[in-house]
Structure 1
């Protein structure tokens, strides 16, 4: 099956709370994750919550990386959505896990824009 993109949803636990609460640090990690995956960064938007936590998105030519952190629980929810074959979303995800100093994580990958109908039409021609 062909798909337009790959979307990874990651549950990242046991992270360093100080890292998760540092907006500039989280932003730098997310941007670098996009670059390590081979993506082209277009725009970046992050917000620091009071008393704690960070949310943000890195818009890439190939789609996006997003993060929401709960430093008080050592937890981060991350999604990495890439389109095309030139960017590996797992490279970005693994880098984020490493930089957040996570004790454990789980992640699932979903294919987005599965081209079943287009393939069936091509086969019928």
Structure 2
């Protein structure tokens, strides 16, 4: 179960507004970035939020990978995004693939400010 989990809170995203507002745009980009990085999408579920007047609002979505997942949530009202890219390294080291997907998404979203965390999951605690 050992793997890399890349986590980011993105603020002041200066991307095309459709990336934050349109489920189809965001889903297509996320799935394609995973494929281009050499990961294996098994399915995707993205949900389009709408305002009371029917106008598009934020998007929440997940790409389920054979290697684990990508999850993304947008807040177009504040140009903010939360992002998780997690891959397991059971049969091969997928860390570089995870970093490639993550970087493609950062480049797409163009945040002005970020809080990032890299977590190695599944490491056994060292005995004292």
Q: Which runs of 4+ in 1 moved over 4 A?
A: none
User: Mapping of 1:11-50 within 5 angstroms?
Assistant: 11-15=9-13, 16=15, 17-50=17-50
Residue by residue over 1:45-71, the C-alpha shift from the partner in whole angstroms, topping out at 9 and shown as x without a partner, is 000001210000000000000001000
Distance, in Å, in 1 between the alignment partners of 2:25 and 2:110 is 13
Higher deviation after alignment, 51-60 or 35-44: 35-44
- SS of the equivalent of 1:111 reads strand
Q: Is the 8 A contact 2:5 2:120 kept in 1?
A: yes
Distance, in Å, in 2 between the alignment partners of 1:79 and 1:10 is 7
Shift of 1:33: 2.3
Unaligned runs of 5+ in 2: 52-56
Residue by residue over 1:3-57, the C-alpha shift from the partner in whole angstroms, topping out at 9 and shown as x without a partner, is 7111011112222333200111110121122123321110110000012100000
Question: Which residue number in structure 2 is paired with residue 86 of structure 1?
Answer: 94
Structure with greater helix percent? 1
Q: Structure 2-normalised TM-score?
A: 0.81
- SS of the equivalent of 2:122 reads strand
Aligned residue-pair number: 116
CA radius of gyration, larger in:
1
Q: Structure 1-normalised TM-score?
A: 0.83
Unaligned runs of 5+ in 1: 121-125
Distance, in Å, in 2 between the alignment partners of 1:87 and 1:42 is 19
Distance, in Å, in 1 between the alignment partners of 2:63 and 2:33 is 10
Q: Is the 8 A contact 2:87 2:94 kept in 1?
A: no
Q: Is the 8 A contact 1:12 1:104 kept in 2?
A: yes
